[in-house]
Structure 1
Amino acid sequence: MEENLQTEIDILRKVDHPHIIGLIDIYDTSKKLYLVMELVTGGELFDSIVDRGSYSEADAAKVIRETLTAIKYLHDLGIVHRDLKPENLLYSTKDPVEQVIKIADFGLAKIVGDDSVMTTTCGTPGYVAPEVLMNKGYDKAVDLWSIGVILYILLCGFPPFYSENTPQLFDQIMRGDYDFPSPYWDHISESGKDLVKRLLVVDPRKRLNVEETLAHPWVKGETANKDAIPDIVDTMKRFNAKRKLKQGILGVMAMNQMKRLADSLGKK
């Protein structure tokens, strides 16, 4: 069996959390392996937001809080997801009252020790942490960087790092080159911006860890604005359409470029 698939199965067998999609059963035939997963019907995070029609910081805080509780659970078990992105955050149901976030896709996840350093270049280009690209080794902090990117998009509708040119995108990430452009960020609370700044920190040693992020007043819902974010749904709709268009072969090409960049930096 492929090593990544075996690792994913081992992890899914090990975890049991309300915000992680569950493995129900496994059927192994002579030709194929079937994983029976928990049924979730709410769709991807961003699709659900677009369908909803209106959205607030308080809604975003709930998403981040639920995701973080699952990440803390994983990190406490020594598991690093390594590929957190909107496509891997699913809603349990379409009912806005009942729905909760479920983390999916553990294909790149890894079980590590407390002080273990990973070196494999992996992830999704727009969400990958700078230390992965720099090829200097990395740890659990990569998941918090990805949370920071997702949070940024949740608050304005587009990503903090973007370029049609993949090497330029990676350069932006490694320099932490982003801002809060007007008018998209004019209505966002200072507390929300503060959390973004504390997560999108290039030096992983200075980045908030999962416990610190959960303790942030914005995540706790104490400072998140409850008013609908102006134009967020329309902005996110445009980003979401562009994101889906570029999935597939372009993602594979970007991953290959990411590995070449890390290899070249490692030789310097």
Structure 2
Amino acid sequence: MQLVSGGELFDRIVEKGFYTEKDASQLIKQILDAVKYLHDMGIVHRDLKPENLLYYSLDEDSKIMISDFGLSKIEGSGSVMSTACGTPGYVAPEVLAQKPYSKAVDCWSIGVIAYILLCGYPPFYDENDAKLFEQILKAEYEFDSPYWDDISDSAKDFIQHLMEKDPNKRYTCDQALQHPWIAGDTALDKNIHESVSEQIRKNFAKSRWKQAFNATAVVRHMRKLQLGTSQEGPGQTTPTSPCHGNLLVPGDNHGSLSNSCQDRCSQKTPENNSLAYNTHHCPQSNRV
């Protein structure tokens, strides 16, 4: 286990005075390199989000670390991945649809992270959880003006390939690393710090995205959504602990999430073979 003292990704961006599309591109490259390594090892993280991306130290050129492997899974370890787990807003459509899924779910999450890094707000949001899930299931998101006016078409194309509804058409980490926005010079060098940091403060300071959720309530929500009968209003998924939220779906007799971050991160999912690792570092880039 390693001590990671550099703080969260969002905090570092907000504190910076200069932040560009190139900076975002190089951050995403670090994440892609690390997740590609995990995927090559047969490991699917299943809960990638900015809160799990931490700087190793306070140094300006500190590397990024991926943390919280409590929901990770070894792919092909004797069972099909179908457990709905992750964090609302970052989970792939096939997870919410409760279909068998693959490591492509991590690539979707990276697309969501890239989207946020370029505008400061999430691609999917609604106070009503059923409506939020419906947006994700349909992959309905926009590049809204004026927030995306100064962002390159290459960046938008990159995101669209990762946030592709069909997991069979979605970019893999290898493909994403070869995209011009990552491997080429299409990422713009214009300072977008003011607009991005303002939106991060506005959308994530007290965000429901950081809350833990009652797994049973989420299961009920998704089942009602599948039946087209969900009438629950905002806030029906209830906070249960101070740790970051998950959509871990246990069996009907498993109860809700643990009230302890330590317990949750060490418990195994119903599929078994979840990993107990705590951090994995992202290969360091030249900037950020």
TM-score band by shorter chain is 0.7 to 0.9
> Cα distance 1:159–1:265, how it changes in 2: closer, same or farther (>3 A)?
closer
Match of 2:63 among 90, 93, 100: 100
Cα distance in 1 for partners of 2:201, 2:18 equals 12
How far residue 99 of structure 1 moved from its aligned partner, in angstroms, is 1.0
Residue identity matched to 2:218: M
Report the number of matched residues: 227
Matches for 1:211-226 after TM superposition, within 5 Å: 211-226=174-189
Residue identity matched to 1:95: D
How far residue 40 of structure 1 moved from its aligned partner, in angstroms, is 1.8
Q: Does 1:252 align with 2:216?
A: no
Cα distance in 1 for partners of 2:187, 2:167 equals 25
Structure 2 match to 1:27: none
Residues 92 and 109 in structure 2, CA contact (< 8 A), matched pair in contact too: yes
Q: Does 1:205 align with 2:168?
A: yes
Structure 2 match to 1:33: none
Match of 1:145 among 103, 108, 111: 108
Residues 108 and 122 in structure 1, CA contact (< 8 A), matched pair in contact too: yes
How far residue 264 of structure 1 moved from its aligned partner, in angstroms, is 5.2
How far residue 259 of structure 1 moved from its aligned partner, in angstroms, is 2.2
How far residue 262 of structure 1 moved from its aligned partner, in angstroms, is 4.3
Structure 1 match to 2:274: none
Cα distance in 1 for partners of 2:69, 2:77 equals 19
The TM-score, its normalising length taken from structure 1, stands at 0.79
Cα distance in 1 for partners of 2:195, 2:98 equals 38
Match of 2:84 among 121, 125, 142: 121
Structure 2 match to 1:54: 18
Residues 6 and 54 in structure 2, CA contact (< 8 A), matched pair in contact too: yes
Residues 56 and 65 in structure 2, CA contact (< 8 A), matched pair in contact too: yes
Structure number having the greater helix percentage: 1
Gaps of 5+ in 2: 229-288
Q: Aligned Cα RMSD in Å?
A: 2.0
The structure 1 segments of at least 4 consecutive aligned residues displaced by more than 6 Å after TM superposition are 265-268
Q: Secondary structure of the equivalent of 1:127? A: coil
Per-residue CA deviations over 1:55-91 (Å, capped at 9, x if unaligned) read 1111101110001111010001110000000110001
Cα distance in 1 for partners of 2:96, 2:38 equals 23
Q: Secondary structure of the equivalent of 1:242? A: coil
> Cα distance 1:240–1:261, how it changes in 2: closer, same or farther (>3 A)?
closer
Residues 49 and 233 in structure 1, CA contact (< 8 A), matched pair in contact too: yes
Structure 1 match to 2:7: 43
Residue identity matched to 1:73: Y
Matches for 1:70-219 after TM superposition, within 5 Å: 70-96=34-60, 98-113=61-76, 117-219=80-182
Residue identity matched to 1:169: L
